[in-house]
Amino acid sequence: GDSVTQMEGPVTLSEEAFLTINCTYTATGYPSLFWYVQYPGEGLQLLLKATKADDKGSNKGFEATYRKETTSFHLEKGSVQVSDSAVYFCALSETGKSTFGDGTTLTVKP
């Protein structure tokens, strides 16, 4: 079945540092890929998405590229801010339902 494996956390960075959160997936077909974010005390929000190979999703300075050859969708940001502190979930959707990774907690210190 489908599965998503995320880099284990927690991740702690200083403000303005470069961020990478690794995500790899297993799927039988050609899924859409997503990154969701959950800020403290809030619900899951879509951060970015990519629907086919080589697509790049981007939002709020975050980027991720759909790499079919390596079955990966790594999340990157060039310069993190304290306000980026949250839990980040990688997910795929192939047949309607979504399969999520276990989340990576990011803490950004001033």
Partner 1 sequence: DTGVSQDPRHKITKRGQNVTFRCDPISEHNRLYWYRQTLGQGPEFLTYFQNEAQLEKSRLLSDRFSAERPKGSFSTLEIQRTEQGDSAMYLCASSQGTDNEQFFGPGTRLTVL
Binding site for partner 1 (CB under 8 A): 4, 32, 34, 36, 42-46, 49, 51, 89, 91, 93, 95-103
Q: How far is CA 79 from the centre of its chain?
A: 16
Structure token digits, residue 48: 């970015």
Q: At its nearest, how many Å lie between partner 1 and the CB of residue 82?
A: 23
Nearer to partner 1, 2 or 17 (CB): 2
Q: At its nearest, how many Å lie between partner 1 and the CB of residue 62?
A: 16
Q: Please, which residues have CB within 8 angstroms of residue 35's CB and are 6 or more apart in sequence? A: 23, 46, 47, 48, 49, 57, 62, 64, 73, 75, 88, 89, 90, 91
Q: At its nearest, how many Å lie between partner 1 and the CB of residue 79?
A: 27
